[in-house]
Structure 1
Amino acid sequence: MNLEGSVAIVTGAGGGIGAALCRRFVEQGARVVATDLDEGRLKSEVEAIAADHPGTIEALAGDCSDVEHIRATIALAESAFGPVDLYAANAGVGLGENLDATPSDWQTSIDVNVMAHVRAAELLVPGWLERGSGHFLSTASAAGLLTQIGSATYSVTKHAAVAFAEWLSVTYGSRGIGVSCLCPMGVNTAMLNSGADSDSEAARQGAKAVTQAGLVLEALEVADIVVASLATDEFLILPHPDVLEFYRRKASDYDRWLRGMRRYQDSLA
């Protein structure tokens, strides 16, 4: 995908990977509508980008899983910049540990990590099919390929996010619709750091599992890799190359991989 002259929407843009994607996209010539549930953080990030690149970015705070908010972000993008070419479903949540997650934790995780992607695709793909072009970027996680120690809600919904991205590519990839699935491991973001600093032993263990598994990248480093991968229309974007090797080991011998994960979990206690 060529970002020059494109119109993009980025969710979860109030910090971390989302804010980094916004910055790199506008630097590559895209115009962006950024959205996040946290209006204050979103405003701060967007103002910083707009100061460097005036007229390239708009903000609309709200819940990325709410279909009316998705409609509103699309409408804003169309009125400010033109038809949407790229939707980056980046927002994510990690709630609850082990089997202690509440029904509300599960519902929010399903809504934000999965259904937000589904609802955006439902609104955008029909128009993209008419135009013969469009790109959906799903931020999942290495947890969607390998499973996250600690959080059942995160692992299950990130697996679902990967599956939905795969389904989109299989179903519409031959009809002009591009799909990419971003699966990073450790990234220096508020989500990872909050786990490391949590009062919950399970949350700390989950964060430790990530940070000890490989390098912790900066969000802008991840965004650079995303930009390069979009240019070559790669589906699976793996900022941490180790994830591919881990995934191969898992696929080649599931029982051995499960035993190894249990040993790794025990080592973190």
Structure 2
Amino acid sequence: MPVVGQRVVVTGAGHGIGRALATRLAAEGAQVVVNDLDAAAATRVADDIGGHAVIGDAASEAGVTALVDAARHHLGGIDIWFANAGIDRGEGLQASEADWAAALDVNVLAHVRAARLLVPEWLERGAGRFVVTASAAGLLTMLGSPTYSVSKHAAVAFAEWLSATYRHRGVVVQAICPQGVRTRMLDNAGPLQELLSHDTAIAPEEVAEAMWQALADDRFLVLPHPEVAGYYANRAVQTDRWLAGMNKLQRRLEAKGITA
């Protein structure tokens, strides 16, 4: 899909996958709004790619509304929304109410709030694209972090619902589901780094390349780690065997002193 002249918003674009997405899209000719809470990072990326920085929260109702309004004002409209901002907060059953609320707010409800504002206009003109950066954790699970696992599953589920509901009316929905990516989130994963890097941690630019290829055929699941497709299929048809395998990994973590 050519993106020359397309009006694009990328949330969480100051670092990591978001920065790589924004950089690739701008290089291909898109007009890009770079959003992040980190003002210095967003401004730096926007300057580097010839984009426009909009600093602020992409999760709360007020924050999403402000971002959409600012992007529409600058671009004249929005053609593609990359719901990329995400967080990993809270571990095991001891994850606090605040951890759960934050994870659901940023990883799920931010997408719902953006779609409420974007989809009606897209339906009127019969075109629009909503891309969610989820995770392989949203197709499988994430040992150690129920907040991340559950919220990313919900992100994929919401994207599925959007696609099933509106694809015949011109709205394309896609979900990017990588495993380990060399970002700050992986750097901060501590003992879980080895697990997240099981099939080799890749660079953010490789995720952006996988997304770029997926724009050509509108596929729903974008899998920068192709092996995830096999894990996902096994989870569906051999659920107990798959869970036993995941529990084996959990026991390996506990043997190293990592408990949930």
TM over 0.5: yes
The code of the aligned residue for 2:195 comes to A
Which residue does 1:128 correspond to in 2?
A: 122
Query: Map of 1:236-251 to 2, 5 A cutoff?
Result: 236-251=221-236
* Separation in structure 1 between the aligned mates of residue 80 and residue 249 of structure 2, nearest angstrom: 38
Which residue does 1:36 correspond to in 2?
A: 36
Q: Let me know the Cα RMSD of the aligned residues.
A: 1.1
Q: Which runs of 4+ in 1 moved over 6 A?
A: none
1:207 equivalent to 2:190? Answer no
The code of the aligned residue for 2:139 comes to L
Residues 10-44 of structure 1 deviation map (CA, whole Å, 9 limit, x = unaligned): 00111000000000011111101111112122222
3-state secondary structure, aligned to 1:188: coil
Structure 1 residue 83 displacement after superposition: 1.3
1:140 equivalent to 2:134? Answer yes
3-state secondary structure, aligned to 1:137: strand
Q: What residue ranges of structure 2 are gaps of 5+ in the alignment?
A: none
Q: 1:209·1:265 contact (CA, 8 Å) conserved in 2? A: no
Structure 1 residue 118 displacement after superposition: 0.2
* Separation in structure 2 between the aligned mates of residue 33 and residue 72 of structure 1, nearest angstrom: 13
- Of 61, 77, 80, 2:55 maps to 61
Which residue does 1:230 correspond to in 2?
A: 215
Which residue does 1:82 correspond to in 2?
A: 76
Residues 68-95 of structure 1 deviation map (CA, whole Å, 9 limit, x = unaligned): 2222222222222221000000000000
Residues 234-263 of structure 1 deviation map (CA, whole Å, 9 limit, x = unaligned): 110000011001111111111111111010
Q: 2:179·2:225 contact (CA, 8 Å) conserved in 1? A: yes
Structure 1 residue 62 displacement after superposition: 1.0
Structure 1 residue 173 displacement after superposition: 0.6
Q: 1:33·1:73 contact (CA, 8 Å) conserved in 2? A: no
* Separation in structure 1 between the aligned mates of residue 45 and residue 6 of structure 2, nearest angstrom: 20
* Separation in structure 1 between the aligned mates of residue 189 and residue 228 of structure 2, nearest angstrom: 21
Higher mean C-alpha displacement, 228-237 vs 34-43: 34-43
Which residue does 1:200 correspond to in 2?
A: none
* Separation in structure 2 between the aligned mates of residue 183 and residue 152 of structure 1, nearest angstrom: 17
Q: 2:58·2:85 contact (CA, 8 Å) conserved in 1? A: yes
Which residue does 2:160 correspond to in 1?
A: 166
Residues 33-62 of structure 1 deviation map (CA, whole Å, 9 limit, x = unaligned): 111112122222222223xxxxxx111111
1:220 equivalent to 2:205? Answer yes
3-state secondary structure, aligned to 2:233: helix
The code of the aligned residue for 2:202 comes to L
The code of the aligned residue for 2:29 comes to G
TM-score, normalisation: structure 1: 0.92
Structure 1 residue 182 displacement after superposition: 0.4
3-state secondary structure, aligned to 2:33: strand
3-state secondary structure, aligned to 1:32: strand
* Separation in structure 2 between the aligned mates of residue 108 and residue 20 of structure 1, nearest angstrom: 24
Higher mean C-alpha displacement, 100-109 vs 66-75: 66-75
3-state secondary structure, aligned to 2:188: helix
Q: 1:87·1:135 contact (CA, 8 Å) conserved in 2? A: yes
Higher mean C-alpha displacement, 75-84 vs 237-246: 75-84
Identical aligned residues as a percent? 48
- Of 143, 153, 157, 2:147 maps to 153
| Aligned residue-pair number | 254
